[in-house]
Structure 1
Amino acid sequence: MLSWYFKTNLLVRIIVGLILGVVVGLIMGPQAEIFSPVGDILVRSLKMIVMPVIISTIIVGAGSVTPSQLGKVGAKCMGIYMLTTAFAVVIGLFYGNLFHPGKGLELAAGSVTLAPIPFNETSFWDVLIMVIPTNPFQAIAEGDVLATIFFCISMGIAISILRHSEDERIKNAGDSLFYLFEGLAEVMYIVIGWVLEYVPIGVFALIAVVFGSQGAGAFGPLGMVVCAIYIAFATHVLVVYGGGLLFFGVNPIVFFRKIKTASIAAFVTRTSSGVLPISMEVADKELGVDKGIYSFSLPLGATVNMDGTAIYQGVCALFIGFAIGEPLTFNQQMTIIGTTVLASLGTAGIPGSGAIMLMIVLNSVGLDVTPGSPAALAYAMIFGIDALLDMGRSCTNVTGDLAVTCAIASSENEINRECWSNISK
């Protein structure tokens, strides 16, 4: 009976759910609150998968990088990828603070309590120290995101060292642990797929509640979010990538012209991992990068380089803070930078992963997205337009993978300059 639902494109279903939620909310007004339990199911489902996703994907991501790859080229890749991700979230926070998306929504009006935000009296150095957990199991149980990420990265690197030991017994132990977490990651991808099937229904319910209480006034803040994020995307691509390429002796204008096939494919498909074969073809045929460089840097970038997603985290976190009347403090914004850079090491390059990562970032700054809370309503508004934002951030991610790959190849003199002699390509 429901085959028509599951056979319909997920993006189409989410858009239909968003539109229906807006219409029903405007028609029913405050009575749309009756849909709140339907939306709460989506929020609880997303919270259910957060910690398992962090643990499995980050350990697998860190465990996939071999010790030998952490040499000169590997260090350059990791260093530049993490640096550009930090720049990306800073740019996102800059435009978020500039545009103030969500300000005036007052989603917390009439609410009894708000989620506690514990950073007002905590120094930045205290936050850095608290990244190291005294009890990792307690950190996982309590949802301490930064501490959990730090522990998982450390564990993943240690597993990688075990897997490449010359002692067969130790190597087998490392492989067993790696495959265990890899299996858990694959299981979580399936569970994520199930949750995403429910997203259109949950989005309909939550958006209906928002527009039922806010009316047509909710359109402006959502438009401001889209505007701020896409301006941030353009700034990051032109300034960070363009400037970085110039620094490494690469013509950015020619570069952007040559990678258009991969960038457009990422924009349409909304996945950076899915267009990896296209990216590798572009790096080989169009950019003239040596296979030894791009065969390592591009798969690594599809796992750890999430600049578009980082921009999204910065703007959307500020939107939710403004929307519930609790603008994020400086220390909270610094925490967002740290969480985003670390969490990007295991974020899957698949459609919808940015919205799940946003839940992780919100938890790290005390914005607990509990069912029925103002933060949950603001989060639902973001989820409703996530597909539109996902296209831009996937395109930015893939552009960044190729930019870093080209820059590193140029610095190592592993690039065929003959491919650049005909700039009309």
Structure 2
Amino acid sequence: MRLSQPTRILLALVAGLLLGLASAASGGAWVERAISIAQPIGGLWLNALQMTIVPLVVSLLVTGIAASAEAARASRLAGRALILFIVLLWISSALAMVLTPLFLDIWPLPVESAQALRSALAGTEAVGQVPSFADFLLSVVPTNPVTAAAEDAILPLILFTVVFAFAMTRLPAEPRETLTGFFRAVSDVMLVMIGWILWLGPIGVIALAYVVGAKAGGSAFGALLHYVLIISAVGVVIWLLSFPMGAIGGRVGFGRFVRAVSSSQAVALSTQSSLASLPAMLRGAEKLDIPVKASGIVLPLAVAIFRFTGPAMNLAVVIYIAHWFGMTLGPGQIAAGVAAAAITTMGAAGVPGQASFITSIAPICLAMGVPIAPLALLIAVETIPDIFRTLGNVAMDVAATATVARRSGFDEDEPLAEEDRLLRAGSDASA
């Protein structure tokens, strides 16, 4: 039976760690030579992933903002939904700065495990320089966006790209569509390249995992388990926030909202796909008496560009890596991380599968001066946190739809129009 890409990478991680542990236990003189061979192999794979980040982030941000502007122009309801999405993404990002340190204080990574892991990854990538808050403010606006891209100054590059994309939306239709098509083609090419690189992922992961296993020993397994639990805990809290949001924003009882989203939650748990959960989400919106003329606009838009758990869980990963390397995050790094996590999520929503893990989190690492190298290992254990990502995204999609619909005058007692009956019949047939 053909193994999925996440399964292949996870098996490569386990195999690499076990081989590293066995090599260290043997105590042979050849172990250092094996490490010296494996380390650059893993580094090459990581560099290959990193080379796609800047062009992909820029192209996705431009096309994402262009698509959002088109939706806002097409419908006032879509415009209100976009405003709510942006507010929720920033809230999600800010919550990560509270929840992650809190969970790490309650259950810190053992000191010996952190030291062993730092030693194992020594030389793979240096920790970035910690900027002061004044330096952060001065660096936000780039003097040269090309230089910012070349130096991986990701936050100034993001700011320039956002301004460029909004300026592009003011152009006449023909040049605007030409530019959008160009950046869409760039993002498609980058995704093809990332697909090739991830296909080689087991080679890079097994090489890096071998180095970690040989240098860090059995503490590597415990550290990875600790990481999964911390990031999943952040995801669980963000997921649970969607239920009071739906009940209060949608003006329905808490129990009624829970029942309405239960089927979409089951689909999300089994498929780990927001898109696959869309028919169940539409039925859940129907149970909340939301007209299809509202849910049929907001829910597909949410599935396309809105990932509520993304900023919180992506930033949590970066904070965890900083904790792993013993970094003390300053105000400038915190502000840069919150901004990068909130802004890049809307662009990253269209990135499929494991590619989104690297392309969403690496820009935050670059913005905060946090090493990227651990991402090559952490991507292999993303399967469990990804469950809570999908559950939270699906629940908040319905909650945001209910909130926008109610606050836009779609009363639950409003008689069902004939067009809504036809639309609902169509959604049931497609489901």
TM tier, shorter chain? 0.7 to 0.9
Q: Is the 8 A contact 2:308 2:393 kept in 1?
A: yes
Shift of 1:43: 0.5
What secondary structure is seen at the aligned counterpart in 1 of 2:329? coil
Shift of 1:346: 0.3
How many angstroms apart in 1 are the aligned matches of 2:182 and 2:131?
A: 40
User: Which aligned pairs between 1:3-18 and structure 2 lie closer than 5 A?
Assistant: 7-18=2-13
| Corresponding residue of 1:406 | 402
CA 132–279 in structure 1, closer or farther in 2 if over 3 Å, else same: farther
User: 1:64-122 CA distances to partner (integer Å, 9 max, x unpaired)?
Assistant: 12367167534432332222222323333323212335452123348469635333423
| Corresponding residue of 1:48 | 51
CA 196–267 in structure 1, closer or farther in 2 if over 3 Å, else same: farther
What secondary structure is seen at the aligned counterpart in 1 of 2:129? coil
Task: Name the aligned partner's letter for residue 260 of structure 1.
Answer: S
Shift of 1:241: 4.4
How many angstroms apart in 1 are the aligned matches of 2:414 and 2:233?
A: 34
Q: Is the 8 A contact 1:99 1:224 kept in 2?
A: no
| Corresponding residue of 1:372 | none
Task: Name the aligned partner's letter for residue 122 of structure 1.
Answer: F
Structure 1 position 220 matched with structure 2 position 222? yes
Provide the alpha-carbon RMSD of the alignment. 2.8
Task: Name the aligned partner's letter for residue 24 of structure 1.
Answer: L
| Corresponding residue of 1:387 | 383
Given candidates 76, 85, 91, the residue that maps to 2:80 is 76
What secondary structure is seen at the aligned counterpart in 2 of 1:118? coil
Task: Name the aligned partner's letter for residue 281 of structure 1.
Answer: L
Given candidates 27, 35, 39, the residue that maps to 1:36 is 39
Structure 1 position 27 matched with structure 2 position 22? yes
CA 36–114 in structure 1, closer or farther in 2 if over 3 Å, else same: closer
CA 67–278 in structure 1, closer or farther in 2 if over 3 Å, else same: closer
Q: Is the 8 A contact 1:303 1:346 kept in 2?
A: no
User: Which aligned pairs between 1:176-187 and structure 2 lie closer than 5 A?
Assistant: 176-187=178-189
| Corresponding residue of 1:253 | 255
How many angstroms apart in 1 are the aligned matches of 2:197 and 2:255?
A: 41
Shift of 1:307: 2.4
Shift of 1:129: 5.2
Given candidates 124, 130, 138, the residue that maps to 2:139 is 130
Shift of 1:20: 0.8
| Corresponding residue of 1:57 | 60
Q: Is the 8 A contact 1:298 1:401 kept in 2?
A: yes
| Corresponding residue of 2:170 | 161
How many angstroms apart in 1 are the aligned matches of 2:288 and 2:130?
A: 46
Task: Name the aligned partner's letter for residue 200 of structure 1.
Answer: P
How many angstroms apart in 2 are the aligned matches of 1:53 and 1:241?
A: 33
What secondary structure is seen at the aligned counterpart in 2 of 1:108? helix
| Corresponding residue of 1:423 | none
User: 1:48-72 CA distances to partner (integer Å, 9 max, x unpaired)?
Assistant: 1101111111100001123671675
Shift of 1:154: 2.3
Q: Is the 8 A contact 1:233 1:393 kept in 2?
A: yes
Q: How many residues get paired?
A: 397
Q: Is the 8 A contact 2:240 2:392 kept in 1?
A: no
Shift of 1:252: 3.3
How many angstroms apart in 2 are the aligned matches of 1:316 and 1:308?
A: 12
Task: Name the aligned partner's letter for residue 118 of structure 2.
Answer: A
Shift of 1:303: 4.0
Given candidates 76, 88, 98, the residue that maps to 2:92 is 88
| Corresponding residue of 1:99 | 103
| Corresponding residue of 2:341 | 340
Structure 1 position 139 matched with structure 2 position 148? yes
Task: Name the aligned partner's letter for residue 108 of structure 1.
Answer: R
Q: 4+ residue stretches of structure 1 with deviation over 6 A?
A: none
CA 415–219 in structure 1, closer or farther in 2 if over 3 Å, else same: farther
Compare 192-201 and 85-94 and name the one that shifted more: 85-94
Task: Name the aligned partner's letter for residue 99 of structure 2.
Answer: Y
Shift of 1:211: 1.9
Q: Is the 8 A contact 1:288 1:416 kept in 2?
A: yes
* TM-score with structure 1 setting the length: 0.84
How many angstroms apart in 2 are the aligned matches of 1:291 and 1:156?
A: 31
Shift of 1:196: 1.9
Q: Is the 8 A contact 2:38 2:207 kept in 1?
A: yes
User: Which aligned pairs between 1:243-392 and structure 2 lie closer than 5 A?
Assistant: 243=245, 245-272=247-274, 274-275=275-276, 277-278=278-279, 281-282=282-283, 285-349=286-350, 350-352=352-354, 353-369=356-372, 376=373, 378-392=374-388
How many angstroms apart in 1 are the aligned matches of 2:168 and 2:142?
A: 19
Q: Is the 8 A contact 2:56 2:190 kept in 1?
A: yes
| Corresponding residue of 1:108 | 118
Q: Is the 8 A contact 1:287 1:415 kept in 2?
A: no
Shift of 1:334: 2.4
The answer for unaligned runs of 5 or more in structure 1 is 163-169, 370-375, 420-425
Shift of 1:231: 2.1
User: Which aligned pairs between 1:225-240 and structure 2 lie closer than 5 A?
Assistant: 225-239=227-241
User: Which aligned pairs between 1:206-217 and structure 2 lie closer than 5 A?
Assistant: 206-217=208-219
The answer for unaligned runs of 5 or more in structure 2 is 25-30, 416-431
Shift of 1:18: 1.9
Given candidates 117, 124, 129, the residue that maps to 2:128 is 117
How many angstroms apart in 2 are the aligned matches of 1:83 and 1:301?
A: 13
Compare 385-394 and 107-116 and name the one that shifted more: 107-116
Q: Is the 8 A contact 1:279 1:298 kept in 2?
A: no
User: 1:374-417 CA distances to partner (integer Å, 9 max, x unpaired)?
Assistant: xx1x3233112122222221221222222111111121232545
What secondary structure is seen at the aligned counterpart in 2 of 1:259? helix
Shift of 1:347: 0.5
Task: Name the aligned partner's letter for residue 132 of structure 2.
Answer: E
